[in-house]
Every structure is written in C-alpha cells, then in structure tokens.
Amino acid sequence: MAKNIYFAQINILKEKKCYYETEGPVLLEFLPNNIKSNEAYSFIMKDDVLTYSLDYIKNRTELPYS
C-alpha cells in the first residue's frame, strides 16, 4: 500500500456545495491520542503513517507546529 502525504499552512477555507464522500473539512485544535480506537475516525487514519508523519512534522525546525 502507498499513501501520499501533504502538509500545508492554510490561510482560508472556502465552503463548497458538494464534498462527495465526506461532510467537508473538520478543523481540530489537536488530534486526539485515541485515534486508533476512536470510531469517529476513518480506518485510513488508523495505521502508523499518521504517527510517523506527525513526528516528522514536529521535528522539522522550519515549520511552526505546536
């Protein structure tokens, strides 16, 4: 399996009329620690790719992340 991972700093979100498979973007102040057991999250977010990606982002000195 392969996944594409993207990171971006977003200044504005514009609402769309149709989001197809989802209900649109969800803004969170932080990701919860229980994503793997939380039924509110897709199976796509429950593998270790999310964990590795967040660790990578946090360790990048040129990217602001709290």
Section 11-33 average pLDDT: 88
What pLDDT does residue 62 have? 63
Report the C-alpha gap between 1 and 31 in whole angstroms.
24
Q: Whole-model pTM? A: 0.53
H-only helix segments in the chain: 48-58
What pLDDT does residue 64 have? 56
Section 26-40 average pLDDT: 86
Closest CA to 41 of 58, 26, 57: 26
**CA gyration radius, the chain:** 14
36 vs 66, residue with greater confidence? 36
Q: How confident is the model at residue 1 (pLDDT cuts 50, 70, 90)?
A: low
